[in-house]
Amino acid sequence: MEFLNGTEGRQQAIIDLFAATFTASEGREEGALIGELVRNLLETTPDDDIHVFTASENGALAGAAIFTRLTYPQDARTVFILSPMAVAT
């Protein structure tokens, strides 16, 4: 199994994984919604505010986790939340 950090050249595959995973577990409408959320996160989140980790096996994307920065005006701590995460079904 190969583990990678980042999305270089794999953005559409990552979006497709999330859409397929959530379609299988929650239905077509939810799958499309999560796929669009992931597309927006990947396209609009500044690089310093997002970390994407993927796992591939035999060249096929097996899983992905997206961490995004969470900030509060009154708190200087650096916090990242895990959301969403998908594993191929």
Distances (CA, A) of 67 to 20, 59, 70: 19, 23, 9
pLDDT tier for residue 12 given thresholds of 50, 70 and 90: very high
Classify 2-87 by CATH class: alpha beta
| pTM metric for this prediction | 0.93
Phi, psi dihedral angles at 41 (to 5 degrees): -60, -45
CA 7, CA 9: separation in Å to the nearest integer?
Answer: 6
Q: Is the dihedral of CA 71, 80, 26, 88 positive or negative?
A: positive
Q: What pLDDT score was predicted for residue 88? A: 96
Q: What pLDDT score was predicted for residue 85? A: 97
| Phi-psi group of 6: left, alpha or beta (phi > 0 → left; psi -120 to 50 → alpha; rest → beta) | left
**DSSP 8-state symbol, 10:** T
Q: pLDDT tens digit string along 26-83?
A: 999 999 999 999 999 999 999 999 999 999 999 999 999 999 999 999 999 999 999 9
Q: What pLDDT score was predicted for residue 33? A: 98
